């Protein structure tokens, strides 16, 4: 329903008013922003060190002692063969952690929308002559902006950490835009799904239940934390279709390599196309679901 009465409803005006309100609330509440920074730090530092696969290479195998230079070689080989040539495990991990943060923030970002319904704010705006689409898209955008901000923070933290993210040679502005473009497509698609979900449920409890049920399989069937090479074949198949895999593979390719070879460019292009198609599909599905959820009951 894009028209409001005789005149064209001001979709962009409504959208910006609603989005502005949500982001104003967010910025004004440091309790909501600050933990994001620490979450990013913990994820990177904790996963980066405790999961670090190169840290578990033994220097002594059945009495055979590796010299420290041999040990370094083994570690480098692991990184280059299994982890796409990343200089450090954190270099591999960063894109995955950003995806993880996107997923969880997107999923729980819906709580604000459920609160809007519970506190009656939603009814107040529903009684106004605004297009229902602006309510849905403002939900999508506010969630996306909040989560992407944390994504940028995570990226910065990873770079600043000692032995952290070592960007590939020649990584420039275009690569940055490319990497975060892929992540933003994922963020948009997930935001559409979770916004529609949040507009449809009546209570925070049911939102949290569904989110918990949905997010873990989504994350752990992806290559966010580990490459697919060692996955069993069924998992590999699932992982291949998982948009999180596509987004973190695309972002990771750029972060690790900087300049892409032509075959890498093709692989990046396919991932991006997949993500764009997924984003459009989720946008439409979410829109239809949200329209239903916002109709008078």
Q: Which residues bind another protein (CB under 8 A)?
A: 1, 3-6, 9-10, 13-14, 17-18, 21, 24-25, 28-29, 119-121, 123-130, 295-297
**Residue 297 Cβ, how far from another protein at the closest point, in Å?**
6
Our CB check for another protein shows the closer of 9 and 157 to be 9
The alpha carbon dihedral of 159, 161, 165, 170 has a sign of positive
Our CB check for another protein shows the closer of 42 and 121 to be 121
Our CB check for another protein shows the closer of 24 and 156 to be 24
Give the count of beta carbons closer than 10 Å to the beta carbon of residue 129: 11
**Residue 44 Cβ, how far from another protein at the closest point, in Å?**
30
Our CB check for another protein shows the closer of 128 and 259 to be 128
Task: State CA 232 to chain mean position distance.
Answer: 24
**Residue 198 Cβ, how far from another protein at the closest point, in Å?**
17
Our CB check for another protein shows the closer of 119 and 177 to be 119
CB distance 40 to 101 below 8 Å: yes
Between the alpha carbon of residue 267 and those of residues 60, 174, 220, 258, the distances in Å are: 39, 17, 22, 14
**Residue 29 Cβ, how far from another protein at the closest point, in Å?**
7
Q: Which residues contact 133 (CB under 8 A, 6 or more apart)?
A: 1, 2, 11, 287, 291
Element (H, E) at 7: strand 7-8
**Residue 8 Cβ, how far from another protein at the closest point, in Å?**
10
**Residue 27 Cβ, how far from another protein at the closest point, in Å?**
10
- Site of tokens 């922003």: 33
Our CB check for another protein shows the closer of 125 and 254 to be 125
Q: Which residues contact 135 (CB under 8 A, 6 or more apart)?
A: 18, 122, 125, 126, 199, 290, 294
Between the alpha carbon of residue 255 and those of residues 53, 156, 173, the distances in Å are: 19, 12, 11
């Amino acid at each position: 329903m894009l028209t409001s009465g005789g005149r064209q409803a001001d979709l962009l005006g409504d959208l910006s008013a609603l989005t502005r309100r949500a982001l104003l609330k967010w910025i004004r509440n440091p309790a909501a922003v600050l933990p994001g920074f620490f979450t990013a730090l913990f994820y990177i530092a904790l996963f980066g060190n405790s999961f670090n696969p190169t840290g578990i290479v033994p220097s002594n195998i059945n009495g055979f002692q590796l010299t420290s230079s041999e040990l370094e070689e083994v570690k480098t080989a692991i990184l280059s063969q299994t982890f796409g040539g990343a200089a450090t495990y954190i270099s591999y991990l960063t894109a995955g952690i950003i995806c993880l943060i996107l997923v969880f923030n997107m999923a729980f970002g819906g709580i604000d929308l459920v609160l809007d319904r519970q506190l009656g704010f939603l009814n107040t705006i529903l009684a106004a002559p605004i297009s229902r689409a602006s309510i849905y898209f403002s939900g999508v955008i506010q969630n996306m902006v909040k989560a992407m901000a944390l994504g940028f923070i995570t990226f910065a933290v990873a770079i600043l950490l000692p032995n952290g993210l070592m960007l590939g040679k020649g990584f420039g502005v275009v690569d940055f835009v490319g990497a975060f473009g892929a992540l933003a497509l994922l963020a948009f698609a997930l935001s559409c799904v979770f916004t529609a979900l949040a507009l449809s449920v009546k209570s925070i409890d049911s939102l949290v239940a569904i989110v918990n049920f949905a997010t873990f399989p989504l994350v752990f069937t992806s290559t966010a934390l580990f490459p697919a090479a060692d996955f069993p074949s069924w998992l590999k198949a699932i992982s291949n279709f998982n948009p999180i895999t596509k987004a973190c593979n695309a972002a990771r390719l750029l972060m690790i390599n900087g300049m892409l070879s032509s075959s890498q460019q093709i692989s990046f292009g396919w991932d991006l196309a997949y993500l764009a198609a997924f984003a459009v599909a989720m946008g439409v599905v979410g829109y239809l679901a949200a329209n239903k959820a916002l109709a008078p009951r």
